[in-house]
C-alpha cells in the first residue's frame, strides 16, 4: 500500500476489503482507499515493518499479532431483518368515499349522491323506528322537528311487522328497531340546508346505500353537508381519522418541529432536558409522554377537520367556534385521540409540532398505551372534539368485529404503570459503560447486566414520574434523513419485486434464490391461484344500479333496472403476476416444485381463458333443450 492509498486491483483483495467492511472505491481500474482508512490499515497490519509471517487460529488472531494489540471483531453477530410495510401518513377514506352516514337507497345511483337522490320525490329507506311522544308522528331523529319533544324508539317483528308489545305477534320472528319507510328526501335536504344557511349547494354529497348498524340510525344530514363543504370523509363510527405509522421520539428541538419558544413556554416546555431555562430553539427538550409530533400532511388534514368542526359548532349547535385555525401551526396545543385498529380505547394526546416524515412521533409509553410495540404499525389520530361530538355507538356495524377500531372508551390521562411491561425494557443511559461491551464479547444473558444498563423498569419500581429517556447517538435534525422509502416511490408491484430481487443479488448476506422462493411461495403463486378462484366464482354487477346478483339472470340484464351486467373480476387482474413469476423461475434456481406448480397454474389459466371458437353452422339452442 503506497502513500497515495491506491491498491492494484485484485478480485480476491477486493473481496477481502468488502468482508472487512473497509470503505473503498474503484478509480481508473485500481482500488482507492480514504486517507484515514489507509492509515488504519497500515497501523493494524504493521505494513511499515519488514515482511514477516504470523500464525493464528483465526484471521483476527493473526491480525492482532501483526498489530501488536488485540483487534476485536467489528461485527460478531448479524441480525436479519425485513421490511414489514412502508411508512404511511394519509387520511382514512372509506371505499367508496363517504361524507355522511345517511342512506340514499337506490335513488342515489352508483355514486350514492344525496343531491341526485333528492331529485326523486319519495325514497324508500330502512330507518330507525322512532315516534314523537307528543304529536305521534314518525321521526328518525332523537327530537321531533315539529314540537321539539324527544322521540321514543319502538321494536317490531321482522316477519309480520307487529309491535313487540302486541299480543298478535306470535310468529316467533326476531325483533328489529327499524322499518322500511317512504321518505321525502327533498324536504329533509331543504330543511338541512336552511338550518345551516348554506344557500345553494354545489357538487355532490355522498352518503351510503344503506345503513348496517343494528337500529339503522342515520347521521344528521347536516353533518354530511358540512363534511362535503370541507372535503373530508367520514369513517364508520362518525369520526374523521388520519392514519400514520408509529415512530418513537424521546427528545426534540423546538425549532425542528415548528414550535416557537413562546408557544413552547405556553404549553409547558419552560426548561430543556438538562433543567436549563429554554432560551434557544436548538435546545433539546424531553418529550412528555402524551405529546405527539405529527406529520405535516396530518396537520393539513386536521386543519380541514377544524373548519368542519367550527362550522358544526356555529351552524348546527349554535355555539362559538373553538379552533379558529388558519394554518396548521394553530393546532399546536390542541388535544387529539390516538387509537389502534384492534382496540376500543382511545388515548388522549396533544399536538406539539410537525415533521416532514410520514409518521406519528410519540413517547414509547404513549404507543404502549395503545397496545403497540413501536414496530411500524399504523394507528389513527382524530381531534378530541370530533370524537366527542360525532362518535356514536349507534353507528357501528352490527356484525362481528363491529366494535373494534372505535373509541368506546377514552383514556384522558396516561398512567405509565398500567401499560405493558415490555415497554419498560428501554435503556435510559446516555453512554454505555466499558463493562457492557466487555460482557458482549462473552455473550452473557441480558438479565445479568441490568445493573450496568439502567432501564425504565427502575423508574417504574421507584414510583417516579420521571420518564425521560437518554440517548447515545445525537441527531442534527429530525427531518435530515430520507423521508420517503424507495418502496413507496416505485409505481407498480412488478417494479417493487424487480428492485427487491436486484437488491438481493447485491447483498452478500442474502441469497437471491431464497428470496425468490419466498416471494413465489408466499405471494405470487397464492395470488395467481386466489385470483383464478375468484374469477371462476365471481358475481356480475349492474353498471347502472350496482346490483350484484348471486347468479346472473338468464335474460342477461339487471332485473331491477334493466341495466347492463358486467364482470367484477377481469382477465388482466388474474394474470398480472404471471410473467414476473416465469421471469423469476428462469432467473433463479428455485427448485422443481415451484417450476411445476407454476406450469400447472399456467395450464389452468389457458383453459379458463381459452378463446371460444364459434361454429356458424351450429343451430341456436333454447333453455328447454337442456331439460
User: Which part of the chain is CATH 2.40.40?
Assistant: 246-424
pLDDT in tens, 473-510: 888 888 988 888 888 888 888 898 899 899 989 887 78
**pLDDT greater than 80 at residue 160:** no
Res 168: pLDDT = 47
Check: CB of residue 244 under 8 Å from CB of residue 362: no
Buried b (16+ CB within 10 A) or exposed e, 506-532: eeeeeebeebbbebbeeebbebbeebb
Distance CA 321, CA 130 (A): 32
Task: Convert the pLDDT of each residue in 405-423 to its tens digit.
Answer: 999 999 999 988 888 888 8
* Residues sharing a CB contact under 8 Å with residue 400, sequence separation 6 or more, in sequence order: none
Q: Kindly report, residue by residue over 309-356, the tens digit of the pLDDT.
A: 999 999 999 999 999 999 999 999 999 999 999 899 999 999 999 999
pLDDT digits (tens, 9 = 90+) for 49-58: 777 777 878 8
* Tens digits of residue pLDDT in 197-222: 988 777 899 999 999 999 999 999 99
DSSP state of 617: T
Report whether pLDDT(255) > 50: yes
pLDDT at 170 over 80: no
Q: Which CATH entry fits the domain spanning 246-424: 1.10.357, 2.40.40, 1.10.3720, 2.40.30?
A: 2.40.40
Both ends of the chain: CA-CA distance in Å?
Answer: 92
pTM as predicted: 0.85
Give the whole-angstrom CA distance, residue 350 versus residue 330.
13
Residue bearing cell 376500543: 344
Q: Is the pLDDT of residue 118 over 70?
A: yes
At 253 the pLDDT is 96
Whether 167 has a pLDDT exceeding 50, the answer reads no
Query: What gap in Å lies between CA 173 and CA 156, rounded to an integer?
Result: 9
- Residue 627 in this model has a pLDDT that exceeds 60: no
What is the band of 515 on the pLDDT scale with cuts at 50, 70, 90? very high
Query: How open is the CA angle 103-203-242, to the nearest 5 degrees?
Result: 70
Span 573-593, mean pLDDT? 93
Q: What is the mean pLDDT of residues 148-168?
A: 76
User: Which pLDDT value is given to residue 139?
Assistant: 87
Amino acid at each position: 500500500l503506497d502513500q497515495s492509498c491506491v491498491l492494484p486491483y485484485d478480485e480476491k483483495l477486493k473481496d477481502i476489503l468488502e468482508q472487512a467492511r473497509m470503505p473503498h472505491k474503484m478509480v481508473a481500474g485500481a482500488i482507492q482507499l480514504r486517507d484515514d482508512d489507509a492509515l488504519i490499515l497500515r497501523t493494524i497490519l504493521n505494513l511499515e515493518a519488514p515482511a514477516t509471517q504470523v500464525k493464528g487460529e483465526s484471521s483476527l488472531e493473526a491480525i492482532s499479532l501483526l498489530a501488536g494489540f488485540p483487534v476485536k471483531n467489528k461485527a460478531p453477530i448479524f441480525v436479519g431483518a425485513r421490511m414489514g410495510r412502508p411508512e404511511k401518513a394519509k387520511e382514512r377514506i372509506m371505499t367508496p368515499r363517504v361524507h355522511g352516514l345517511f342512506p340514499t337507497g337506490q335513488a342515489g345511483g352508483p355514486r350514492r349522491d344525496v343531491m341526485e337522490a333528492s331529485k326523486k320525490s319519495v325514497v324508500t329507506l330502512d330507518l330507525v323506528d322512532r315516534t314523537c311522544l307528543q304529536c305521534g308522528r314518525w321521526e328518525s331523529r332523537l327530537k321531533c322537528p315539529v314540537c321539539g319533544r324527544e322521540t321514543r324508539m319502538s321494536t317490531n317483528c321482522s316477519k309480520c311487522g307487529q309491535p313487540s308489545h302486541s299480543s298478535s305477534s306470535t310468529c316467533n320472528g326476531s325483533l328489529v328497531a327499524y322499518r322500511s319507510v317512504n321518505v321525502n328526501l327533498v324536504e329533509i335536504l331543504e330543511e338541512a340546508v336552511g338550518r345551516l344557511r348554506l344557500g345553494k349547494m354545489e357538487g355532490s354529497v355522498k352518503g351510503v346505500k344503506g345503513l348496517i348498524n343494528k337500529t339503522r340510525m342515520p347521521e344528521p344530514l347536516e353533518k354530511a353537508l358540512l363534511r362535503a363543504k370541507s372535503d373530508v370523509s367520514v369513517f364508520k363510527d362518525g369520526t374523521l381519522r388520519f392514519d400514520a405509522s408509529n415512530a418513537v421520539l424521546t427528545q426534540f428541538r423546538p425549532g425542528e418541529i415548528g414550535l416557537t419558544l413562546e408557544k413552547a413556554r405556553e404549553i409547558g416546555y419552560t426548561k430543556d432536558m438538562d433543567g436549563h431555562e429554554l432560551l434557544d430553539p436548538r435546545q433539546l427538550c424531553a418529550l412528555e409522554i402524551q405529546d405527539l409530533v405529527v406529520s405535516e400532511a396530518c396537520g393539513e388534514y386536521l386543519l380541514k377537520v377544524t373548519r368542519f368542526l367550527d362550522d358544526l359548532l356555529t351552524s348546527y349547535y349554535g355555539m362559538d367556534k373553538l379552533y379558529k385555525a388558519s394554518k396548521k401551526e394553530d393546532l399546536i396545543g390542541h388535544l387529539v385521540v390516538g387509537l389502534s385498529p384492534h382496540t376500543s380505547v382511545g388515548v388522549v394526546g396533544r399536538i406539539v409540532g410537525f415533521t416532514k416524515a410520514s409518521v406519528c412521533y410519540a413517547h414509547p409509553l404513549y404507543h404502549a398505551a395503545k397496545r403497540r410495540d413501536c414496530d411500524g404499525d399504523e394507528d389513527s389520530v382524530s381531534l378530541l372534539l370530533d370524537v366527542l361530538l360525532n362518535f356514536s355507538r349507534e353507528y357501528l356495524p352490527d356484525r362481528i368485529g363491529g366494535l373494534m377500531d372505535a373509541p368506546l372508551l377514552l383514556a384522558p390521562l396516561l398512567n405509565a404503570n398500567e401499560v405493558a411491561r415490555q415497554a419498560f425494557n428501554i435503556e435510559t443511559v446516555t453512554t454505555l459503560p466499558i463493562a457492557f461491551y466487555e460482557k458482549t464479547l462473552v455473550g452473557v444473558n441480558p438479565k445479568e447486566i441490568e445493573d450496568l444498563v439502567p432501564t425504565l423498569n427502575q423508574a417504574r419500581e421507584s414510583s417516579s414520574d420521571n420518564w425521560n429517556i437518554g440517548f447515545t447517538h445525537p441527531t442534527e435534525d429530525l427531518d435530515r434523513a430520507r423521508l420517503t422509502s424507495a418502496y413507496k416511490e416505485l409505481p407498480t408491484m412488478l417494479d417493487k419485486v424487480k428492485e427487491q430481487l436486484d437488491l438481493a443479488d447485491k447483498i452478500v448476506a442474502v441469497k437471491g434464490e431464497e428470496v425468490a422462493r419466498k416471494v413465489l411461495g408466499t405471494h405470487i403463486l397464492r395470488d395467481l391461484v386466489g385470483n383464478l378462484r375468484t374469477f371462476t366464482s365471481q358475481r356480475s354487477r349492474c353498471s347502472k344500479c350496482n346490483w350484484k346478483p348471486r347468479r346472473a339472470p338468464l335474460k342477461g340484464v339487471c332485473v331491477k333496472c334493466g341495466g347492463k351486467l358486467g364482470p367484477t373480476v377481469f382477465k388482466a387482474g388474474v394474470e398480472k403476476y404471471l410473467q414476473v413469476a416465469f421471469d423469476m423461475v428462469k432467473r433463479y434456481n428455485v427448485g422443481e416444485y415451484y417450476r411445476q406448480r407454476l406450469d400447472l397454474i399456467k395450464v389452468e389459466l389457458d383453459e379458463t381463458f381459452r378463446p371460444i371458437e364459434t361454429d356458424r353452422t351450429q343451430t341456436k339452442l333454447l333453455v328447454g333443450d337442456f331439460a
